[in-house]
Amino acid sequence: MKETIEKALNAQLNAEMYSSYLYLSMEAYFKSINLDGFANWMNCQMQEESAHARKFYDFINQRGGRVTLTTIDGPETEWDSPVAVMEATLAHEQKVTALINDLLDLALDERDHATNIFLQWFVTEQVEEEDSVNSVLQQLKQTGASEGGLFLVDRELAQRTFTPPSVTAA
């Protein structure tokens, strides 16, 4: 594995760990305002991001690279509302999409076909991530100031369960 690819993959592993940490912080925020369904949804997000980090960890090792873990910045801990949290979540997922796209561009520039194939899974995953977050955000916006609407969205989000990505998925 080329050093440029190894360094970039390690940076993405760190970014995925930060995402997990951010969603854990968001889960704590929702717990603090008694929105357990939203907290559950964020817990699933946190587990998903941890699984993504593990995929990068495993791939780096499979390619003969060396995983180098770095400091994870502290996440935001305060938001003005559930809508603000979901807007921040969407913005974060869009940032992660850009990071994955940059990684893919690097893999193509370096003619690293294995990394290119590996990253294709993440490209598809990011489309799903942004769509999922946007769906929740739009539902929240439709409820307006209705506490009943917020309660219904919270109940719906309580139903989400985390399903680990397939071991065979790149």
SS (H, E, C) 15-76: HHHHHHHHHHHHHHHHHHCCCHHHHHHHHHHHHHHHHHHHHHHHHHHHCCCCCCCCCCCCCC
**Confidence grade of residue 168 (pLDDT, cut at 50, 70, 90):** low
**What percentage of residues in the chain have a pLDDT greater than 70?**
98
Residues 67-76: what's their mean pLDDT?
96
pLDDT at 147: 84
In the structure encoding, which two tokens stand for residue 45, read together?
């997000």
pLDDT at 167: 56
- pLDDT tens-place string over residues 85-118: 999 999 999 999 999 999 999 999 999 999 999 9
Domain boundaries, the chain: 3-157
SS (H, E, C) 128-145: HHHHHHHHHHHHHHHHCC
- CATH of the domain spanning 3-157: 1.20.1260.10
